[in-house]
Structure 1
Amino acid sequence: MQNWKKLTALALGVCLSLGVMAGCGSDKAATTGGQKALTIGDTTFNSSNEEPDVNPHNTYAGWACIRYGIGETLIKYSDNMEIQPWLATKWENTDELTWKFTLRDDVTFSSGRKLDAAAVKECLDHLIENNKRAAQDLKIASIEANGQELTIRTTEPKPALLNYLGDPYGCIIDVQAGFENGIVAGTGPYIVEDMKTDDHLTLKKNEKYWGGTPKLDKLTIRTITDGNTLSNALQSGEVQAAYGMAYESYPLFRNDKYTISQISTSRCFFGKMNFDPDSVCADPAVRQAISMGIDKENFVAKLLDGNGFPANGVFPAGPAFGGDKVKAEKFDPEGAKKVLEAAGWVDTDGDGIREKNGKKLVVKWLTYPSRQELPLLAESVQATLKDIGMEIDVNNTADHNQIVKDPKAWDVYAMANVQAPTGDPEYWFTVFATSNATKNQGKYKNEKLDALEAQLSREFDPAKRAQLALEMQQVILDDHAFVFCSFLKMSMISKANVKNYTSHACDYYQVTADLDVE
C-alpha cells in the first residue's frame, strides 16, 4: 500500500490547505416533527450536469451518490489525495494483473444485505456492463469472490486500478436491490427516500450505518441552478447550506452568520477544440490565436474575484505533473493577430471580423449555466477575441450535453471538470484527449499522445508516471487542442450552526455521518 500512497501524494501538487471562515451565529437546529433536518441547495445536481439520479452506473450520477452520503467506494482519498482504506481494509497487488482485496466485515447495505465479496463482484460486473468509461478505465478480465476476499484480474497491467476504484462510479451498491427510478441501496450514512430529477433528493439517516449513527435525521438536496436564487435561499434560511454559489455573492456571506469552507482543487475551466473539418478550429492558426487571446489573469482577478488561479496546463502547479512545468501560450493579442494574418485570416470589409476564402471567422462557443462562472468566461472571451478579429457566438445552454454530440453545432466547448479527482493523471487523458476517450467529442487525435498513454497505462513507477503526464500535457498544448483557463478554489457555504460541511480536494465527500446542525 505504501507505493500507492506515494503515487497519490505526488498528485496535483495543489495547495490543499483548507481555508475556513467560521461564524458563531445563533441559528437554531432545524427540526421537522422533532427530528433534526438540513436542506442543502446545489447548482450541480441536475440532468444537465449528467446527474439525473444517484445510480453510480448511470453517466456521472455516481458523483451524487458519493457526495450525498449514499454510496461508498473500496478506497477513499485523504485531504492530501493519498489512498486510504474504506470498504476495503487492505489490498495486495500480487502480480501485474492480479489484485486481492480484504473487505470490512461489519458493513450492511441500506437494503439490509451484508457487504461481502459476492455483492461487490455483482456490483462491479454490472458496472462494467453498463458504464463505458468504467469498463475502459478498469480493464477487468475477471472477478472472484470468497467470503470477504475479492480478487480482481485485469486484461493488462493497471497501475492506477486503485485510483479508479475510488471514482464515484466505484460506489458499491446492492445490485439485487434494484435501480428503480434511479435510486440505489448503498452503504453510506444516508438512505434515499424520494427523488425528483432536476428538483430534489430526500434522504433519511441510516440507523445501521457501520461508521456510527449519522447526526441528522433528514437531509434534503434541492436543485437550484440559478446563482441569485441560491443566494437568496441561503440568506432567507430556505436552505441552510449551499454548493456552487456564484463567487460574486460571496461578500454577502463573509460574516459571523455563515461558514465558508474553501480548498484549492484541480477543478478547471477549460475549452476543448473541435477538429471537425467544417469547424473553424480545424485551422491550427485559429486554435493558436484563441489560446493567445484569452486573458486568464483578468478573468481570475475580476470575474472569479480571486477565487481561483490562472491555468497553464491540464493540472495545477506542483512538484509532480504540475501545469507549471509545461509551456502554454500566454495572453498576447498582438501575437494572435499576426498568427491569423499569416494564415490568411484578414478583415477585408472593415467590420472588425476577419475572413478567409469568403468565410467569416465566427467561433461557436458552447457552454452551460450550472457552473455559475462559465457564462462569465464566455463574456470575457467574447470581448478579448473580438479585439483580434474573431466573432464569438455564445450558446449558453442546459442542453449542452446533447448539442456537443453534433460536430457542426460548436467550435469550442467550455466546461468545468475536476482534472485529477482520483489522484492520478491518467484519468483526464482517457476521458478527454486520447483517440478513444469517452468525452473526446471534438475528435482530437494525436498518435504520439496515444502512444504515451499506452506507456502510462502500464507504468507502475510514480516518478515515471508523472514524467509521462508532463509529456502528454505538452503534446496537447503544442496542438492547441485544449485551452486551460483557470483552476478553482471550491467552496461550500453554510449557516454558522451547520457543522462539518467541509470542502475536499477531490470534491466528493460533502455529506458524512458527522454533518450536523446545532
Structure 2
Amino acid sequence: MSRKEKIMRNRKRFMVLCMAVCLGTGLLAGCGTGEKNTHTGSAKGTTEKKTFVFGDTTFNPENEEPDVNPHNAYAGWACIRYGVGETLFKYSDSMEIQPWLAKDYENIDELTWQITLQDGVKFSSGREMTGEAVKECLEHLVEVHERAKGDLMIDTITTEGQTVTIKTTEPKPTLLNYLSDPYGCIIDMEAGVTEDGIVAGTGPYIAEALVSGEQLKLVKNEEYWGGEPGFDEITVRTISDGDTLTMALQSGEIDAAYGMPYASYPLFENEDYTFSSCATSRTFFAHMNFESPVIQDRAVRKAIAMGIDKEGFVNTLLDGNGYSAVGVYPDSFEFGGDAVTTETYDLEGAKKVLEEAGWVDKDGDGIREKDGKDLTIRWLTYPSRQELPLLAESAQATLKEVGMEVQINSTADHNSIRADSTAWDVYASAMVTAPTGDPEYFFTTHCLDSSSVNNGHYHSDKLEELEKEMAKTFDTERRGELAVKMQQTILDDNAFVFCSHLKMSMISKATVKGLVAHPCDFYEITVDLAPVE
C-alpha cells in the first residue's frame, strides 16, 4: 500500500471513529453541520461565562515547555502563546520589530540601548511594571537561562522611572530581536514562580492552574492594559496524539486546535470551521552526530542528504502543507532558498558516493558494509510534532534503497537520549529557525562551539570566524551576505539536512474569531481572540 493510500485510509478511519464517538455520547450535532457547541459564547442578556478550550500537541515537557515560566527552558513559548506574558518588542506580520511593552528605544552607541516603557501596565499580581521591575526580570533571566545569557550579552542594566538602559559586553546588533524572544516575557519577580511554574505576566490572561503535560487554566485579566480580552476563561489542553486531537475538535470537546495532522484537514474544510494559515520558518531538519563513527564519514553524510526525498515528503505525506527546503530559511527570506545550494535527491548518485567510499553490500542482504560493520543509522525523533515520524518513515524507505538500514526511535524521551552522543546517529527535530526575524539565531543556538543545542557537536573553524563578524555587524545587507556564507558552510559539510519549511495552520470553530497564525509562531491566544457575537 502506498503512503498516499495509507493517508486516505487514515482519513476514513478518523471519520468513522469521530462518528462513533459522537453517536455514543449524544453529540452528533457537534460533528456535522448541526447545532453548535456552546463553549464559545453566551446568549444575549445572560451572565453565562464565555469560555474557550484550545487543544495543542506541543505544550508538554517533551518539547521543553513544562510550564509557563519563560526563564525555564523553552517554556517562554507557552507563556507568550497563551496570553500570559508579553515582551518589550514584538514582530509585525511582516516580521518587523515594533514596540510592545516598550513604547520607544534609542541605540545610544554600539554597546548602549535606552528603552522607554509603556505607562499604566500592571502585572497580573497587581504590581506596576516599572523600569526597576523590568531590570529585576532581565537580570534573573540571564542568571538562570544560558541561552538568553549568550544571546543578550548584558553587562549592566540601570533604570530611571520608566527608562531602562542596557549596556552589553560587546556590540549586539540584534538585542531588540532577542528581547522579543519568548524567554524575554516580562514577569513580576517579586510575585515569584509557583511550584507548578505559574508566573505573573502582563498579558490578557492570567494562569490560574497548571498540570504539566496535561492542561493550563486561564482567566481573563480584568486590568489588562491593551483592551478587553474576549473570553472569561480559557483551558489549554495538551493533546499530543493527532487522532485524539482530531476527534476532540469534531466532537466539540475543544474549540480550536494547533498541530492538527494534515491528513485530518479535509474533515474541517466546511462552513463550521475556520482555518488560519501562514508560511513560517519552522523547519523540519536532521542533525548529524559528529561523535558517531558512521556519521564522521563524509560519504555517509552526503549520501543521507542525497537520499531524502524532500519533495515527496512535502507533497505526499504533508499533503502540500509546506515547502521543500534547501537551507535554513525559506524562499521568502532574502538569504534563504535559492541563495544557497545543497545535495539534490539522487538515489543513484548516493549509491555511487557510498560505493566509492568503500561501503558495499558483500553478503547481498541489501545493507552495505565497511570494515565488517553494517551501514546502520539510528534515527532519533519524537511524536508530538505529527510530521516528524512521517519524515523518519520516508527517510527509512528511501535510504534503504541506497543500502542503509535506518532504525527509528520516535520517543517522548528524546531530550534525554540526544544528550547521550553514543545513543544516536541522526536526530530529526523541528524549530522556527528565524523567530527573531534575523539570520543569526539558528547558528548561535545550533552550530557553534558555544551553542546550547549543538546536539551533534559540530565544529567548523570557518563558521566560527563568520559568526565573529556577524555578531558585530549592524548593517542588515551585510548580515544577509554572512548568513548565506554561514548556511553554505554547514551545507557543504552536510552537518544538517533541511527537509521542509512548515505552512502553519490553526483550526477553530466558526464561532470563534481572532485566532490568527503568525509567521514567527509566537502569538496565538491574544486580546483579539473572542466569540463571534
- Does the pair score TM above 0.5? yes
| Aligned position for 2:220 | 205
> Out of 179, 200, 209, which is 1:194 matched to?
209
CA contact (8 A) 1:40 1:222 kept: yes
What is residue 443 of structure 1 aligned with on the other side?
A: 457
Q: CA deviation at 1:205?
A: 0.3
Amino acid of the residue matched to residue 249 of structure 1? Answer: S
> Partners in 2 of 1:262 and 1:175 — Cα distance?
36
Q: Where in structure 1 are there 5+ consecutive unaligned residues?
A: 1-22
Number of paired residues?
Answer: 495
Which runs of structure 2 are paired with 1:298-337 in the superposition (5 Å)?
A: 298-318=312-332, 320-337=334-351
User: 1:432 touches 1:438 (CA, 8 Å); kept in 2?
Assistant: yes
**Aligned-partner residue type, residue 251 of structure 1:** P
SS of residue matched to 1:457: helix
Contact map agreement 1:25 1:258 (CA 8 A) in 2: no
Match for residue 521 of structure 2? 507
For 1:480, the equivalent position in structure 2 comes to 494
CA distance in 2, matches of 1:43, 1:398: 12
TM-score w.r.t. the length of structure 2 is 0.92
The answer (yes or no) to whether the contact 1:24–1:497 under 8 Å persists in 2 is: no
1:386 counterpart = 2:416: no
Aligned residue number for residue 471 of structure 1: 485
* Counterparts of 1:56 and 1:228, CA distance in 2: 30
The answer as to 2:420 corresponding to 1:411 is: no
Cα distance, 1:256 vs structure 2: 0.5
The residue identity in structure 2 corresponding to 1:494 is S
Q: 2:173 aligns with which of 153, 159, 170?
A: 159
Please, which of 380, 389, 395 is the counterpart of residue 409 of structure 2? 395
User: Counterparts of 2:356 and 2:152 in 1: how far apart (Å)?
Assistant: 46
> Contact (CA 8 Å) 2:37, 2:252: kept in 1 or not?
no
CA distance in 2, matches of 1:24, 1:81: 37
Aligned Cα root-mean-square deviation (Å): 1.3
Any conservation in 2 of the 1:266–1:315 contact (CA below 8 Å)?
yes
Asked if 1:459 corresponds to 2:473, the answer is yes
In 1, Cα distance between equivalents of 2:394 and 2:485: 30
1:323 is displaced (CA, Å) by 2.3
Deviation at 1:24, TM superposition (A): 9.9
Which whole-Å CA distance do the structure 1 matches of 2:333 and 2:51 have between them? 43
Instruction: Give 3-state SS (helix, strand or coil) of 1:280's partner.
Output: coil
Taking the aligned partners of 1:211 and 1:468, their CA distance within structure 2 comes to: 38
Q: CA deviation at 1:29?
A: 4.3
What secondary structure, in the 3-state scheme, does the structure 2 residue paired with 1:492 have?
Answer: strand
Indicate if the aligned counterparts of 1:491 and 1:503 stay in contact, CA closer than 8 A. Answer: yes
Segments of 5+ residues of structure 2 without an aligned counterpart are 1-31
Per the alignment, residue 275 of structure 1 pairs with 290
Distance 2:464 2:294 in 1: 24
For 1:291 and 1:256, how far apart are their aligned partners in 2?
42
**1:27 counterpart letter in structure 2:** K
Distance 2:489 2:59 in 1: 34
Q: Verify the 8 A CA contact 2:154 2:167 in the aligned structure 1.
A: yes
Who is 1:222 aligned against? 237
Cα deviation for residue 322 of structure 1 reads 1.1
Q: Offset at 1:280?
A: 1.2
Deviations 1:74-109 (A, max 9, x none): 000000000011000000000000000000011000
SS of match in other structure, 1:282:
coil
SS at structure 2 position matched to 1:128: helix
Q: Answer whether contact 2:171 2:472 (CA < 8 A) is retained.
A: yes
Shift in Å, 1:282: 1.1
Q: Shift in Å at residue 25 of structure 1?
A: 8.3
Q: Is the 8 A contact 2:449 2:459 kept in 1?
A: yes
In structure 2, relative to structure 1, the CA distance for the partners of 1:270 and 1:482 (3 Å cut) is same
Q: Residues 16-38 of structure 1: CA distance to partner in whole angstroms, max 9, x if unpaired?
A: xxxxxxx9986364269820000
Percent pairwise identity = 62
Equivalent of 1:126 in 140, 148, 161: 140
1:353 equivalent among 367, 371, 379: 367
1-structure distance, mates of 2:128, 2:176: 23
Name the structure 1 match of 2:19: none
Per-residue deviation at 1:279? 3.4
Rounded to whole Å, the distance in 1 between the matches of 2:338 and 2:58 is: 29
Contact residue 140 and residue 154 of structure 1 kept, 8 A: yes
* Structure 2 residue corresponding to 1:35, chosen from 49, 73, 85: 49
The CA distance in 2 between the partners of 1:106 and 1:25, in whole Å, is: 45
